[in-house]
Amino acid sequence: MACPAMPNPVHHIELWTTDLVATAPSFHWLLTSLGWRAESDPSWPQGRT
């Protein structure tokens, strides 16, 4: 039985780094390929959601 196509099959990915500025470009291609778009979260100024 085939699974129906899911528009957003990834629910949550958590990546930790000590240097977000240096690390972000290396993950940008992967995250944008999965449909991720950067958003701001005022309660978490050090990170990205």
Q: Per the confidence metrics, is the pTM higher than 0.75?
A: no
CA dihedral sign of residues 39, 43, 48, 49:
negative
Residue 6 pLDDT:
61
Closest among 27, 28, 35 to 10, alpha carbons compared: 35
- Whether pLDDT at 30 is above 60: yes
Q: pLDDT band for 2, please (50, 70, 90 cuts).
A: low
Count of CB atoms within 10 A of residue 6's CB? 8
